[in-house]
């Protein structure tokens, strides 16, 4: 595998999205299982750059995801790049901004007010047990706060040495250009998989500014990893229309040829989906 560049960060081409390691996302998971998954991801990336592990202060109850990644990464500091995100779970009393996101369901509270960014970062530093954050991004753009103001506040923390690199996530092409005009953006996270193509306009902006692209949901929340059944109670995917009810059966039939190709080429469906991406 050939390493990829996210600004100055050199990482392996396949990273690890740690949202699934917190209980209540895809179902029960123990700390031992979570650490074993991270160990396997690290071993697979050997020789191809540092492993990018992505987390967020909203993953799991009481930011469980950051605590978990912090404990695990303490023994692998020189082999791992930890990316985290903020603002999707606003501090009490500040969650005044809500909007609908296509992949999720319902109203999602977001607050990217610049005066809150330092507190977000300090909380992530504490939970991750880190001296600085390798890559820090707003989880979603705030619908009433310009993205440039939010990333500008992160850029101030870069000057202080608390954050090494600024990122963004789930933005439009115009928002990415706005952020890039304020400070150097190392990476943009965008949903991108066989069944959800990235916006070509956003990719063009990223290319113009030398911004690395991190694809989230590359396996379609498990759909592209093989035969997927109706998610059990307690699995958040039950709330995603294309992954539940009659839609799941329709989509499974539509992607049957992908599984057939994988068998012909002696690959798992997940391997084929990642190779395509």
Cβ neighbours around 59 below 10 Å, total: 27
Answer for the pair 187, 211: CB distance below 8 angstroms, yes or no.
yes
Structure tokens at 185: 């953006």
Question: Among all chains, which residue has been given the structure tokens 């989230």?
Answer: 216
Catalytic residue selected from 59, 103, 120, 255: 59
Percentages of the chain per state (helix, strand, coil), in multiples of 5: 45, 20, 40
Q: Is 59 an active-site residue?
A: yes
What pairing do the DSSP bridges indicate for beta strands 97-100 and 16-17?
A: unpaired
Q: What is the DSSP letter of 23?
A: T
Q: What is the DSSP letter of 240?
A: S
Alpha helices per DSSP H over 45-88: 64-73
Closest CA to 205 of 179, 223, 224, 183: 179
Q: Catalytic amino acids?
A: 59
């Amino acid at each position: 595998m050939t390493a990829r560049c996210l600004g100055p960060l050199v990482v392996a081409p396949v990273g690890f999205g740690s949202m699934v390691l917190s209980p209540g996302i895809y179902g029960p998971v123990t700390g031992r299982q979570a650490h074993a998954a991270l160990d396997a991801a690290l071993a697979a990336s050997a020789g191809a750059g540092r492993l990018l592990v992505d987390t967020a202060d909203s993953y799991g109850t009481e930011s469980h995801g950051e605590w978990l990644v912090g404990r695990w990464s303490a023994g692998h500091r020189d082999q791992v790049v930890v990316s985290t995100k903020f603002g999707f779970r606003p501090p009490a009393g500040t969650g005044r901004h809500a909007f609908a996101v296509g992949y999720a369901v319902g109203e999602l509270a977001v607050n990217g007010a610049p005066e809150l960014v330092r507190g977000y970062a300090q909380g992530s530093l504490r939970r991750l047990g880190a001296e600085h954050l390798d890559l820090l991004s707003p989880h979603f753009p705030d619908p009433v706060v310009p993205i440039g103001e939010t990333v500008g506040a992160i850029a101030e923390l870069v000057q202080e040495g608390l954050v090494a690199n600024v990122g963004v996530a789930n933005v439009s092409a115009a928002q990415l250009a706005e952020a890039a005009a304020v400070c150097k953006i190392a990476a943009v996270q965008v949903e991108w998989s066989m069944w959800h193509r990235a916006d070509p306009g956003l990719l063009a902006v990223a290319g113009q500014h030398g911004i690395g692209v991190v694809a989230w949901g590359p396996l379609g929340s498990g759909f592209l990893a093989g035969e997927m059944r109706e998610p059990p109670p307690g699995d958040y995917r039950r709330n995603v229309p294309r992954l539940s009810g009659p839609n799941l059966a329709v989509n499974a039939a539509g992607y049957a040829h992908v599984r057939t190709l994988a068998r012909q080429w002696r690959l798992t469906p997940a391997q084929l989906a990642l190779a395509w991406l």
